[in-house]
Amino acid sequence: NAGVTQTPKFQVLKTGQSMTLQCAQDMNHNSMYWYRQDPGMGLRLIYYSASEGTTDKGEVPNGYNVSRLNKREFSLRLESAAPSQTSVYFCASMQGQGNYEQYFGPGTRLTVT
Amino acid sequence: QKEVEQNSGPLSVPEGAIASLNCTYSDRGSQSFFWYRQYSGKSPELIMSIYSNGDKEDGRFTAQLNKASQYVSLLIRDSQPSDSATYLCAVMGSYIPTFGRGTSLIVHP
């Protein structure tokens, strides 16, 4: 079991460029999440998908879109990157249905210049 | 706005001592509570979950929950330098978790 995988591990973008962060889990989990982590700010929820076919905004959704492609995959898209989106992005998954333990991917370190 | 508060630290303890990490939360209806460990440059790793009032022990780790006081704690016995990390407290609402900003723990030889 690979658990939760994320690609890419590192990315540098110029302001205005777009990119998609990929996330996949092989634990048959129902729920998936995208977070960003900035120094001193802790983990902040961007979007989540409680189950396949649903997505909802979290605390900081502006500038991002998501797609729950299937039960395994949940992608995060930056349409027009801004320096304020420089951060470390984590994907996580959770079984749900009474089991709320989250498992995190290794993260993507994104720099927007 | 649901809040989870942790002392940012750093909490410095000598090797072999007990490290005590604390967390308070604002949503009285919360039912699920978690502790994650995060090494520098790595992703958070789940180390404990607790759902009922009282203590839950797993090896050197003990989680304590007091819902009346809205307080969760993590005790690490026989602390080792390898325990040096940031510890995140998380409280689960309805499919939406709220994380504290974490407490940095330093275990010195």
Mean pLDDT, range B49-72, rounded to an integer: 96
Facing residue for A50 by CB, picked from B43, B46, B95: B95
Q: What are A60's two structure tokens? A: 């900081």
| pLDDT one-digit tens code per residue, A49-79 | 999 999 999 999 999 999 999 999 999 999 9
A100 touches B at CB < 8 Å:
yes
Predicted pLDDT at B93: 79
| pLDDT one-digit tens code per residue, B11-56 | 999 999 999 999 999 999 898 999 999 999 999 999 999 999 999 9
Predicted pLDDT at A55: 97
What is the distance in angstroms between the Cα of B3 and the nearest Cα belonging to chain A? 12
For residue B63, pLDDT over 80 is answered with yes
Predicted pLDDT at B86: 96
pLDDT grade, residue A14 (50/70/90)? very high
pLDDT grade, residue B80 (50/70/90)? very high
C-alpha B86/C-alpha B49 separation (Å) is 17
Which of A100, A104, A109 would you mutate first to test chain B, the one with the most B CBs within 10 A?
A100
Phi then psi for A46, rounded to 5 degrees? -95, -60
CB B53 within 8 A of CB B33: no
Counting one residue from A and one from B, how many pairs have CB atoms under 8 Å apart? 44
| pLDDT one-digit tens code per residue, A19-57 | 999 999 999 999 999 999 998 788 999 999 999 999 999
Percentage above 90 pLDDT, chain B: 86
CB count within 10 Å of CB B5 equals: 14
Cα angle vertex B96, ends A89, A92, to 5°?
35
Facing residue for B99 by CB, picked from A42, A50, A107: A42
What is the distance in angstroms between the Cα of B54 and the nearest Cα belonging to chain A? 19
